[in-house]
Amino acid sequence: MSPDLQGNIANAAECLQDCRRLLVLTGAGMSADSGIPTFRGDGGVWENYSAQELATPEAFKANPDMVWDWYRERRLKIAGCEAHSGHRCLALLQEHYDEGRVIVATTNEDDLLERAGVHGVISLHGNLFETTCAADCGWSAHDTADNSYSFMPCPECGADVRPGSIWYGESIARCGMRAIQIFQPDACLVIGSSCLVQPVAEIAPEMAMAGNPVVEINSEETPLSSIANYSLRANTIDVLPTLVDMLTSKIVRQQTEEALQNIKPVA
Ligand SMILES: [Zn+2]
């Protein structure tokens, strides 16, 4: 790791460490480090389809079997992926701070945060492993490895069932956005999110404009990069463990400060 990046991580940690309610927002870049493919380039039989052709209410209406086949394959693929050190670091961060001081919201539909031990994950775009009533009677259940619910009619009303993801053209879970509002975060850490899809994309810029510290971790520049207090240009797994170490460990913080003081400026 370059001294510049290490220095930026230390600065980012300093800017977050005094917050009382930290909102962590994760996106596709976080899951990509676990090998979960983004919609594009899934490969295999679905290579010629885009998510816009499969993850929509219209596609499900026209061909529910095809949409379910795609979802069952994605469930299988994701079930074979493992949470990485970045996911586990977020669980550690929650554990270290007082209960309820760190909440994690995600636009990812996988369950890697939960598998790593993160509590109370807010799934803003729904959860791929949920099966819900397509007629919206309110029934939903976490499906098992054999996708048994996905093959049955809704046990409450007999209608078809659908994946619990929120599709293109559907509005995102209002209860998720409401939970963030109620939490009233005073700092935000945005990890691997392109910050393009509304209304989630507004959260961090609005917090920054209100004067709250905002830190971004992303391997690519995003619309948030120029607004955030610190934008760490790297993969999640390369910087999140160090950042969380600095937020949770006095020893690591001291060592980093000493190391940074010993860096001689380039002549
Ligand atoms: Zn139903």
Q: What is the pLDDT of residue 191?
A: 95
User: Has residue 82 got a pLDDT over 60?
Assistant: yes
Say what percent of the chain tops pLDDT 90.
Answer: 62
CB neighbours of residue 115 within 10 Å: 16
Residues 62 and 192 in one domain: no
Give 132 Cα–ligand 1 centroid separation in angstroms: 8
Structural element, H or E, at residue 23: strand 22-26
Domain coverage including residue 245:
1-36+83-125+173-267
Span 18-39, pLDDT tens digits: 899 999 999 988 988 888 876 5
Distance (angstroms) between ligand 1 centre and the Cα of 9 equals 48
The verdict on 241 and 261 lying in the same domain is yes
pLDDT digit string (tens) for 89-143?
999 999 998 888 999 999 999 999 999 999 999 999 899 999 999 999 999 999 9
Average pLDDT over residues 202-206: 92
Type of residue numbered 111: D
Beta partners for residue 132, in sequence order:
140, 162
Instruction: Tell me, yes or no, whether 181 and 262 share the same domain.
Output: yes
190 and 102 both lie in a single domain: yes
8 and 99 fall within a common domain: yes
Backbone angles phi, psi at 167, to 5 degrees: -95, 165
CA of 151 to the centre of ligand 1 (A): 14
Q: Residue 41 above 50 pLDDT?
A: no
Neighbouring C-beta atoms of residue 81, cutoff 10 Å:
17
Picking from 108, 143, 165, the residue at the C-terminal end of a domain is: 165
Q: Write down which residue in 141, 165, 189 finishes a domain.
A: 165
- Tokens 């760190």 locate to 102
Asked if 145 and 216 sit in the same domain, the reply is no
Could you report the per-residue pLDDT of 243-264, keeping only the tens digit for each? Answer: 999 999 877 777 777 777 776 6
* 3 & 47 share domain: no
Average pLDDT over residues 11-19: 92
Q: Are residues 3 and 66 in the same domain?
A: no
Element (H, E) at 256: helix 250-261
Whole-model pTM? 0.88
- Find the CATH number of the domain harbouring 110: 3.40.50.1220
Per the structure, how many domains does the chain have? 2
**Cα 194 to Cα 164: distance, rounded to the nearest angstrom:** 22
Q: Do 226 and 197 fall within a single domain? A: yes
How far is residue 173 from each of residues 30, 53, 58, 169, 245, measured CA to CA in Å? 21, 21, 19, 13, 32
Query: 102: which 2 tokens?
Result: 């760190």
Same domain, 156 and 180: no
pLDDT at 267 over 60: no
Q: How far is the CA of 149 from the centre of ligand 1 (A)?
A: 12
Query: Which residue among the candidates 87, 96, 125, 142 is catalytic per the annotation?
Result: 125
The enclosing domain of 156 has a CATH number of: 3.30.1600.10
Burial class (CB in 10 A: 0-12, 13-18, 19+), 10: buried
Indicate the Cα dihedral angle 193, 93, 129, 57, nearest 10°: -30
Amino acid in position 71: Y
- Statement to judge: residues 265 and 156 lie in one domain: no
The pLDDT of residue 265 is above 70: no
- DSSP labels, 90-118: HHHHHHHSPTTSEEEEES--S-HHHHTT-
State the pLDDT at residue 3: 81
3-state secondary structure of 215: strand
8 A C-beta contact, residue 11 and residue 265: no
> Which residue shows structure tokens 């230390």?
10
Distance (Å) from CA 141 to ligand 1 centroid: 11
Mean pLDDT over each residue of the chain, to the nearest integer = 88
Considering 110, 140, 165, which residue would you say is the last residue of a domain?
165
Across-strand partners of 24?
104, 189
Q: Are 188 and 212 in contact (CB under 8 A)?
A: yes
If you measure from the C-alpha of residue 142 to the centroid of ligand 1, how many angstroms do you get, rounded to a whole number?
Answer: 15
In degrees, to the nearest 5, what angle opens at C-alpha 178 toward C-alphas 125 and 231?
65
Ligand 1 midpoint to CA 163 (Å): 13
Q: What pLDDT score does 197 carry?
A: 75
Structure-derived torsion over alpha carbons of residues 75, 78, 80, 86, reported in degrees to the nearest 10: -150
- The answer to whether residues 136 and 231 belong to one domain is no
Question: Active-site residue 125, yes or no?
Answer: yes
